[in-house]
Homo-oligomer: A and B are copies of this chain.
Amino acid sequence: MHSNTPDNRPQQDVSQKNSALIPQTAAFFSQHELPATITRVTWLDRVLVNKMLNVLGNPPLQIKLWDGQIASSACKNPLAVVSFYDRGALLKIIIDHELHWGELYCSGRVKFEGNMTSLIEAIAHAVQARGKMSFLRKAIQWFSQRRNSNSPDKARQNIHHHYDIGNEFYKLWLDREEMQYTCAYFPRENMTLEQAQQAKLYHICHKLQLKPGDTVVEAGCGWGGLAHFMVKHYGATVTAYNISQEQVKFARQRAAEEGLNDQLEFVLDDYRNIHGQYDVFVSVGMLEHVAVQDYQELGQIIKKCLKPEGIGLIHNIGRIVKQPMNPWIDKYIFPGAYPPTLSEMMQVFEPNELAVADIENLRLHYSKTLQIWIQRFEQNLPLISKMMDEKFIRAWGLYLQGSRAAFNLGKLQLFQVVFNHMQNNAIPRSRLHIYQQELGEKTPAEKFH
């Protein structure tokens, strides 16, 4: 299903195009018109439209109904036009837009023209200015706090749902070198995605003070990019755990081809089965897939597997304000995932006497990463549409754009947490060492280009 190296896919470099996002996903499918329903538009439908816009804080948005007419009050400079193809769709959005928007958009019962990221941001700002939350949202929020633990079986299903949909698809829009499906690091303007992902990998290795001979355990290794990088550029020995079959298969094949098997082992297993002791523990983009009530157990595993003078790093999407996952994302994109607040994350560390040494918030770096992913995704729509159906593509476009809006709005954050055993006094004197290396080079990744 997938090729052996990440390089034999269409070459394009769109990272320089930092212009406003072009909403091509919707346009790409504009030829697939759904038959309009024959129900007549009534005055009540128009009242409902304007009531809904009022509840949303009157964002700069035009609403078209199934008669093809604009039903919303006059709006100067609309960011977007949303078309409803039947009354049911309109009612569903009115009841809970966060839950139903994704479903209706993906099935084509609602259509969208304009800049979706900007529109989501405008609605969020308008709703916040109004300061109201629907009873239903509150109820969902309350209910969602009673989350179930992700058992190893459930975790495997959840991960399979998102990561095993085909490496070829991910290759079309992730960086070419290490297929990093996590936030890149753009310390300087105008870095390409490839440079910024390399800079991220260096940044992590600098924080971990990685050196030749270090033993590393990685929990949740994606396509093995970080593990590969640590072996290749630092001479470390890495044992990387992952429960995504497709990803592990890809990573193992690459390691074998490059003759790295002695130093690079990929284990198709749950992080709960990590054993042995290591100089470094690292986990990038996995904590989001661990339920909060399992954090303390994760910390126990880290405590056990980290040598007395070892260093650990967790990199994950998080939040400032505790909130359940968007219900549509939870259902269709990332089942069982949850971005925690720092106070929730402390359950990994504090009960296990793991001392937080350093936390960095890279929120806007994820917005920039997503911007480039979206550009590449949209430029590759002709290829992607040969692999995936229309519903999938609409969903994916919505997920990427919605995520970018969430990072821009501060609804999502990106935390990098460095930690060590509480009693470890062999910790670095300061963080100068991280930046000594990064400032010594023009960009950390340039040496590879």
Q: Which residues of A contact B (CB under 8 A)?
A: 185-189, 320-322, 341-343, 346-347, 349-351, 353-361, 363-364, 408-410, 413, 421-425, 427, 429-432, 434-436, 438-439
Task: Jot down 7 A-B pairs with beta carbons below 8 A, ordered by A.
Answer: A187-B430, A189-B429, A343-B347, A353-B410, A408-B425, A432-B435, A439-B439
Contact of A410 among B358, B359, B409, B422 (CB under 8 A): B422
Quick check: A432 and B346 within 8 Å, CB to CB? no
Q: Assuming A342-B342, A409-B423, what are 5 further A-B pairs, CB within 8 angstroms?
A: A320-B350, A342-B356, A356-B361, A358-B359, A432-B439
In the complex, A424 Cα to B413 Cα: how many Å? 12
- Among the listed B408, B421, B435, which residue makes an inter-chain contact with A431, where contact means beta carbons less than 8 Å apart? B435
> Do A410 and B435 touch across chains, with their CB atoms under 8 A apart?
no
Give the shortest distance, in Å, between A227 (CB) and chain B (any CB). Answer: 25
Is there an interface contact between B364 and A427, defined as CB atoms closer than 8 Å? yes
Chain B residues contacting A187 (CB-CB under 8 Å) are 429-430, 432
Chain B nearest CB from A41 CB (Å) reads: 37
Instruction: Point out which of A185, A322, A423, A430 has the most chain B C-beta atoms below 10 A from its C-beta.
Output: A430
Contacts of A346 in B (CB 8 A): 341-343, 346
A142 to chain B, nearest CB (A): 17
Of the candidates B321, B355, B425, the one whose C-beta lies within 8 Å of that of A320 is B355
Chain B residues with CB under 8 A of A188: 429
Closest residue of chain B to A438, judged by CB?
Answer: B432
- Residues from chain B with Cβ under 8 Å of A351 in the complex: 321
Q: Which 8 A-B pairs have the closest CB atoms?
A: A435-B435, A343-B346, A410-B422, A359-B359, A187-B430, A343-B343, A410-B423, A357-B361
Given contacts A186-B429, A320-B353, A439-B439, is CB(A360)–CB(B358) below 8 Å? yes
